[in-house]
Copies of this chain bind each other. A is one copy, B any other.
Amino acid sequence: MTGIRAGILGASGYIGGELLRVLLGHPRVAAVVPVSRRLAGRRVDGVHPNLRGTTELVFRSMDDVSPCDVLFLATPHTQTMDMVPGLRSVAPCLIDLSADFRLRDPVVYERYYGTVHTNPSLLADFVPGLPELYREQLEEADLISVPGCMATAAILALYPLSADGLLDGAVWVDGRIGSSGAGSAATSTNLHAERSGAMRVFAPAGHRHEAEVRQATGLEITMSATGMPEVRGAQVVCRGRLSTPLREPELRRIHREHYADEPFVRIVAQRRGLYRLPEPKVMHGSNFCDVGFALGDDRDVVLVAALDNLVKGAAGNAVQCLNIRMGWPERLGLAFPGLHP
């Protein structure tokens, strides 16, 4: 088979595992090179048991990575920024899934991540890995920075109205996230006995992703976040105020038109049924982001979005960016629709 060679740094984590799953099933990827310092030499299906029977790959150490056509960085926040310069010789295209190159302003980065950015000159070189807003730039991008999972949901929820200047004043984004969002390291925070059944308001205000949403939409954003007792899934409920009164059919039309050509955004705002607004439960494994809306009294508007935090919120979105960058059909390797029930 002819195809590209794709490397994954941090391939033993949850995002790394999803990258492996998607890339191993991608028709234009000939070879996947999984890198894990900790597990070099061990089989990837040891930590990603869903891949049993589909691959015999073993993790490699960093020293052992030969040149690739693309390199995905599923490496930790605050550590990735130092790695990027040295990786440019490994692959002509880097797709970073950490937070390190998401914010253009190093001062904002420092405020939200509590550490000085060590490579601020590179920030402007990264294109945000959000096809719905930056598709044209992605076609040429060599450095791509995939946004955070709840940020992606919130940006896609708010974009149709914000782009048309239809939102007025501050927006409250309430984010909900499953436990896989905290990664695969064992900490007491994520112990099953503590997290199961919990609704943990871990960020009552000022969640880090608000900076990304503000940057992408230009809106005044306040963001809270709650850890929900699920493994996968992110949902945002955003409350804003319309700058001009709109009725439901107009809202529907605006949303439909904005996302008419998007392969992975669905407008979900039904009048009946159990799934009237976006619901992460039926999106596990899929690359969709569902976006819905509802009107309140006066000019209040509520925008809801949902996605799988590891797919459209990370690995799937990254592969969608790769497809765009390579000029391939955008849905390649990303056809799985999710499960119900």
Q: How far does the Cβ of A126 sit from chain B's closest Cβ, in whole Å?
A: 26
A292 contacts across to B, CB distance below 8 A: 201, 204
Q: Which of A14, A51, A178, A204 has the most CB of B within 10 A?
A: A204
Q: Which residues of B contact A230 (CB under 8 A)?
A: 196-197, 199, 229
Q: Which of A28-36, A82-90, A131-139, A233-241 contacts B (4 or more CB under 8 A)?
A: A233-241
Q: Within 8 Å of chain B (Cβ to Cβ): is A252?
A: no
Which A residues have a C-beta under 8 Å from some C-beta of B? 14, 17, 21, 25, 46-54, 172, 174, 176, 178-180, 182, 184, 186-202, 204-206, 222, 224, 226, 228-233, 235, 237, 239, 266, 268, 270, 272-286, 288, 290, 292-297, 300, 302, 304, 306, 335-341
B21 touches A337 (CB 8 A): yes
Q: Could you say which of B14, B273, B297, B304 contacts A47, with CB atoms under 8 Å apart?
A: B273
Residue of B nearest to A226 (CB): B237
Contact, CB under 8 Å: A277 / B50: no
Tell me, in angstroms, the Cα distance from A182 to B273 when the chains sit together.
16
Q: CB-CB < 8 A to A335: which residues of B?
A: 25
Measured CB to CB, the closest approach of chain B to A317, in angstroms, equals: 16
C-alpha gap A90/B122 in the complex (Å): 64
Q: List 26 A-B contacts (CB under 8 A).
A: A17-B341, A21-B337, A48-B340, A49-B273, A172-B172, A179-B191, A180-B193, A184-B188, A186-B188, A190-B193, A191-B192, A192-B194, A193-B231, A193-B341, A196-B281, A199-B235, A199-B280, A202-B276, A204-B294, A204-B302, A205-B294, A206-B296, A206-B297, A222-B239, A222-B297, A224-B239
Interface centre among A230, A281, A282 (most CB of B within 10 A): A281
- Whether A205 lies near B300 (C-beta < 8 A) is yes
A274 touches B200 (CB 8 A): yes
User: What are the 3 closest A-B residue pairs judged by CB atoms, nearest first?
Assistant: A205-B296, A204-B294, A193-B341
What's the least CB distance linking A185 to chain B, in Å?
8
Known: A50-B286, A204-B294. A179 touches B198 (CB 8 A): no
